[in-house]
Structure 1
Amino acid sequence: MRQLVLSEFPDRNGILVLGGSNYHYLAKVLRKTSGSSVEARLPDGSIRTFRILDITRETKEIRLSAAEENGQSGQNMPDIPSFFPRIILFQWMIKNPKMEQLVRQATEMGVSEIIPVTGERSLFRNEKESYPVKQERWERIIREARQQSGSSIPTGIFNPVSLSEAVRIWNDISGDIPENRKIAFVLTETPLERKTLHEYLGRHIKDGEDIPVCAALAVGPEGGMTEQETETLTENNFLKIHFNTNILRSETAALYGVAAIQNALTELGKWQLKEYNL
């Protein structure tokens, strides 16, 4: 379901006047007209149905009214569905437009936080465009992606950070989460004598343990992470995994990894594992 993502609530009369990108999205993209209805997600995560009262093309403004059907003006929905894991993507910076496409698609998939990392082999260090400009554009891309995909996940994105800062962020996020409810991975380019994704996750369903609610994934740039960067992550409890696929570009590997983790976690109670020595 497409949705309009709002940054403000309607006034006490249920009226909301929108312009700018909101006007463009409703009038130009969705081609809404006066009297049309639109589903909008409010800042508190709830969904409300609005009716378009009028469209003023001269000033490029749209006036909405909270529609009341059967005595109800909307339905409260949680920001994140209870069954959906919180996925945090630590993405080593790659060059635009690949980074922008990655931000868009990760948002559509329901990634909770995207944390760009300026690693040793990151191309971003040589670009002249300032961080604030990129941050503003990324946030606009996220908003558009949520509207297109109907994602209920309020995806957030950080300004690019160093590896040490990325590790601190993960430790802060995961610090209060029990060990059996969180897990972190780092993708490697070469096969290793390590456990597979399902083998690592298998320990969480042994003896009826709870399914992880928070998972992190670290993905390097083109050319991969340096040995020191990988070592830093493993020292901070990131598990090395390698997917037996073709050689993937950084942005493809990130989305493949997110999809694999997301699917494995959401269906963890369904698939069966052998008894592994974990």
Structure 2
Amino acid sequence: MRRLILNEYPGPSGSLSLGSKEYRYLVRVLRLQIGEQFRALLPNGKEALFTITAIGKSGLEVALVKDIGPLPESAIADEERRATLPPLPPIILCQALPKGQKMDLIVRQAAEAGVSHIIPFISQHSVPRLDKSTAQQKLERWNRIIKEARQQSGSDVTTRIEPITDMKGLLEFWEQQKKITPNSQAILLHQDPLAQGTLHGYLEGNIQSVHIAVGPEGGFSDEEAAQCIEHGFKPLLLGVNVLRTETAAIFATAAVQVLLLEKASWILSNNSIV
């Protein structure tokens, strides 16, 4: 269900002034009018209901609804559907920077899919070489894309993107995560069949988080692949076709999600795989 994501709380009276970005989303995209209500996520992650009280040329005034009242049928159906799904462990997408604007698409798709963390990093085959100023601008843009994607998709997952790092930083992040969640799994997408392991096999057991490492155009170098494997990443070849990096990212994320959601149906009592 679509929900506006707010960066600030309403005042003591419950009123809140929203700017051009929120105006564009509520008025231009959702086509809401004065007196209509919408749901929003507060900075603490809690959901609230607001009413539009005034619409200007590029902004609007809203008021917190004290008595939310019954949920609409669409919202009830959405909550009932979510209640039937098993809880998913966090999925962390480790994405080597691709050329051009491809990272924007990857970030948007990952946020819509409910990825928990995105770790952008520069690998040996990455073409972009960013200075600090450009890297910060990219990070701010990606955070805006994440917010828009979560609003559009209604994702309950607070997708976070880390500052751009390198392979060393990525491996340090993974080692730290293993200390926090020892039953985590890391998967290295590689264009060559480096191992015979399957995605089903890698996701067996009580998985606490799943890290998916995707290379740039040209994939990972042999040296990088060896480094990742040494740190516990499991190499995986998805199908027989060589996928574009932006395709591989969402393809692998979707595959992991589906397998985790349907885990109970493909693991038998003797732990064999159907």
- TM-score tier by shorter-chain length is 0.7 to 0.9
Cα distance in 2 for residues equivalent to 1:11 and 1:40: 15
DSSP-derived class of the 2:49 partner: strand
Residue pair 2:86, 2:261 contacting (<8 A) in 1 also:
no
User: Which runs of 5 or more residues in structure 2 are unaligned?
Assistant: 72-78, 80-84
User: Which runs of 5 or more residues in structure 1 are unaligned?
Assistant: 205-210
Cα distance in 1 for residues equivalent to 2:257 and 2:203: 12
1:162-173 equivalences under 5 Å are: 162-173=166-177
Q: Which residue of 1 aligns with 2:266?
A: 271
Q: Does 1:142 align with 2:146?
A: yes
In the TM superposition, what is the alpha-carbon distance from 1:249 to its structure 2 partner? 0.4
In the TM superposition, what is the alpha-carbon distance from 1:270 to its structure 2 partner? 2.2
Cα distance in 2 for residues equivalent to 1:270 and 1:9: 43
Over the residues paired in the alignment, what is the CA RMSD in angstroms? 2.4
Cα distance in 2 for residues equivalent to 1:126 and 1:139: 17
Query: How many residues were matched structurally?
Result: 260
Q: Which residue of 2 aligns with 1:237?
A: 232
1:67-216 equivalences under 5 Å are: 67=65, 68-70=67-69, 83-125=87-129, 130-179=134-183, 182-202=184-204, 204=205, 211-216=206-211
Q: Which residue of 1 aligns with 2:74?
A: none
Residue pair 2:195, 2:235 contacting (<8 A) in 1 also:
no
Alignment-mate amino acid for residue 31 of structure 2: R
DSSP-derived class of the 2:137 partner: helix
Cα distance in 1 for residues equivalent to 2:132 and 2:7: 30
Runs of 4+ in 1 over 6 A off after TM superposition: 126-129
Q: Does 1:61 align with 2:67?
A: no
Alignment-mate amino acid for residue 256 of structure 1: F
Give CA deviations for 1:50-76 in whole Å, capped at 9, x if unaligned.
11011122xx2211111223499xxxx
Cα distance in 2 for residues equivalent to 1:71 and 1:259: 33
Q: Which residue of 2 aligns with 1:20?
A: 20
Give CA deviations for 1:114-168 in whole Å, capped at 9, x if unaligned.
1111001101127997101111111111111011111111111122101011111
Give aligned-pair identity as a percent: 38
Give CA deviations for 1:213-239 in whole Å, capped at 9, x if unaligned.
311000111111001111111111111
Alignment-mate amino acid for residue 165 of structure 2: V
In the TM superposition, what is the alpha-carbon distance from 1:259 to its structure 2 partner? 0.8
In the TM superposition, what is the alpha-carbon distance from 1:169 to its structure 2 partner? 1.3
In the TM superposition, what is the alpha-carbon distance from 1:20 to its structure 2 partner? 2.6
Normalising to structure 1: TM-score of the pair? 0.86
Alignment-mate amino acid for residue 157 of structure 1: I
Cα distance in 1 for residues equivalent to 2:31 and 2:125: 44
Alignment-mate amino acid for residue 186 of structure 1: L
Cα distance in 1 for residues equivalent to 2:130 and 2:137: 15
Q: Does 1:223 align with 2:221?
A: no
DSSP-derived class of the 1:2 partner: coil
In the TM superposition, what is the alpha-carbon distance from 1:275 to its structure 2 partner? 5.3
In the TM superposition, what is the alpha-carbon distance from 1:268 to its structure 2 partner? 1.4
Task: Identify the range of structure 1 (248-257 vs 267-276) with the bigger mean alpha-carbon deviation.
Answer: 267-276
Cα–Cα, structure 1 residues 2 and 47, in superposed 2: closer, same or farther, change >3 Å? same
